[in-house]
């Protein structure tokens, strides 16, 4: 991926975060994300291999939407992020597998 493409993806992430912030301000401190914007940033973070950014986003998501279970692809992206940031391990290691 070229630096220009990475920059475009970062700009998309920034625009989505601004839209979510404006949504919260509009609804008096609550989110009404009926467009589903909150599910888009993780995919973009993974495209540019920014796993720590994705992890920060998931922490924010979990804090602001605690009862939201998400979509299957969203949860898969979350799992990939946890694996890449060494928050979970692959369990075929003979020492840890029973």
Provide the whole-model pTM. Answer: 0.84
18-62 tens-digit pLDDT: 999 998 888 887 788 788 899 999 999 999 999 999 999 999 999
Return the HEC string of the chain. CCHHHHHHHHHHHHHHHHHHHHHHHHCCCCCCCCCCHHHCHHHHHHHCCCHHHHHHHHHHHHHHCCCCCCCHHHHHHHHHHHHHCCCCCCCCCCCCCC
């Amino acid at each position: 991926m070229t630096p220009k493409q990475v920059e475009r993806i970062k700009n998309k992430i920034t625009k989505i975060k601004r839209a979510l912030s404006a949504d919260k301000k509009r609804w008096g401190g609550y989110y009404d994300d009926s467009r589903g914007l909150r599910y888009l940033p993780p995919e973009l973070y993974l495209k540019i291999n920014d796993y720590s950014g994705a992890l920060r986003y998931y922490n924010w998501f979990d804090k602001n939407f605690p009862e939201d279970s998400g979509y299957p692809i969203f949860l898969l992206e979350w799992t990939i992020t946890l694996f890449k940031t060494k928050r979970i391990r692959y369990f075929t290691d003979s020492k840890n597998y029973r």
